[in-house]
Amino acid sequence: MYLIALPLLIFSHIAASQTIVETLPGFGKLPFKLETGYVGVGEADEVQLFYYFLESERDPSFDPLVLWLTGGPGCSGFSALAFEIGPLTFDYLSYTGGIPPLKLNPYSWTKVASIIFIDAPVGTGFSYAKTTEASYTSDTKSAQQTYSFLRKWLMDHPKFLDNPLYIAGDSYSGKIIPMLVQEISDGNEVGHQPPLNIKGYIMGNPVTDEHMDLNSRVPYAQLKALISEELYESTKLNCMGEYIYPNTSNALCIKDLQNVTDCIGGLYYANILEPSCTVLSPKSMGLKWDRGALINDSVDILLSTPKLLGPWCRSYNYLYSYIWANDRTVQEALHIREGTKEDWERCNSSLSYLHDVQTVVPYHRNLIKKGYRVLVYSGDQDLAIPYVGTQAWIKSLNLTIEDDWAPWFVDGQVAGLASIYLFFLIHSFYISKQPSFCTGHTAPEYKPKECYGMLERWLAYYPL
């Protein structure tokens, strides 16, 4: 348990700026309430965290408040807003040049909740540091600073203090979310005022235990017929189940792992059924398969050599966000502070970031004792963070199973399989052989209607 005894006085001075955005380039007048702004955190507010806040389209005075953390680390909250769960998305088919057009997303989570999309950690999206020292961050510091952000934001928006509060996000934020919930829980217990009305947390395709997550790629590959059963059994035997840190003097293990690498190294890890956007030969993953596949957009390649890419790639869609967010009129509409950001990136892979927490399983073990509600969902075609690893760490919690792997439906069709535990719900999408039904990393981008149905029912305490 990590407790930060922050004096209450630190929250008495709210270094924040906020503006209501009524129109956006590429769309026009907005039919919902959008607020953007900065909240300063740190002893001298040396870290300025940018956010997009969208009020619930149903009943903002009653509906839950969700703080959304995008993964990476270093991926902007706008990525989740535009490509996953927000009320706007890009109208790809209507683009003819200039500012990419936007259209309404009929499956926006803002239909049932108010959502804060934060650019965190520092250096992400439009967030910035006032000093070089303040630009250095880590898992631990990110959780601490996001907690400070949330307290300051709520003190500046006191009408949301009584709303049910959920912390949500996907991918790498699966590490930060339970750490942040622990900060909130500890703060409430030691008497930070006002208390935060935290009810639970939501994680999609979550990084949780780096070794368990990455080590699960080999058994996942066998389950998805990406490697033969013979190669899997040989690798399992020769490597004794250790694929991330094998004994390098074990020639048989190293040979098997290289064969596995040859089979899966050229795949698109976010969704194994989609093309991999690489014009060069696939790089060997080596033997320690890192987290890099989670945030690489290959934007330079997309901008410089689009004709060489061949088949459609999902990264084409991401390119629209770079054009849109770097446009001067867009930044003026969002009230971005001039001179604070040279170039906006959907995912900033050059952060000064220390990965100082390798597993957050102990956080989950502690938080479930407090009775918080938890929703975990994964994609069946996700090789970056396979559902196999997610199931493994949840199983390690030794929770009581209330309902095991039952199908649930949206519009009369099987949308997924769910297991219900005491205070814990894990969801893994139905595996379909048809690519149009596949679910990757991360799930709402691939299955927006199903994910919206899942969230709406879960927030309302309805069974899936």
Q: Give the catalytic positions in this structure.
A: 171, 382, 441
Q: In 171-307, where do the E strands start and end?
A: 198-204
Q: Which residue, chain included where needed, has tokens 């149903």?
A: 58
- Whole-number Å distance between alpha carbons of 399 and 424: 8
What is the three-class DSSP state of 312? coil
Sign of CA dihedral 231, 232, 234, 240: positive
Cβ neighbors of 132 (< 8 A, separation 6 or more) are none
My answer on whether omega of the bond before 121 falls inside 30° of 0, hence cis, is yes
Query: What are the two backbone dihedrals, phi and then psi, of residue 197, each rounded to the nearest 5 degrees?
Result: -85, 55
Report how far residue 38's alpha carbon sits from residue 18's, in angstroms, rounded to the nearest whole number. 7
Check the CA dihedral 43-45-48-50 and report its sign.
positive
Judged by phi (left if over 0) then psi (alpha if -120 to 50, else beta), residue 310 lies in left
Identify whether the C-beta of residue 337 lies closer than 8 Å to the C-beta of residue 129: no
On the CB side of 291, CA atoms within 13 Å amount to 20
For residues 222 and 114, give the distance between their C-alpha atoms in angstroms, rounded to a whole number. 41
Output 258-262 pairs: Cβ under 8 A, ≥24 positions apart.
Answer: 258/287, 259/227, 259/231, 259/235, 260/218, 260/221, 260/227, 260/231, 260/235, 261/285, 261/286, 261/287
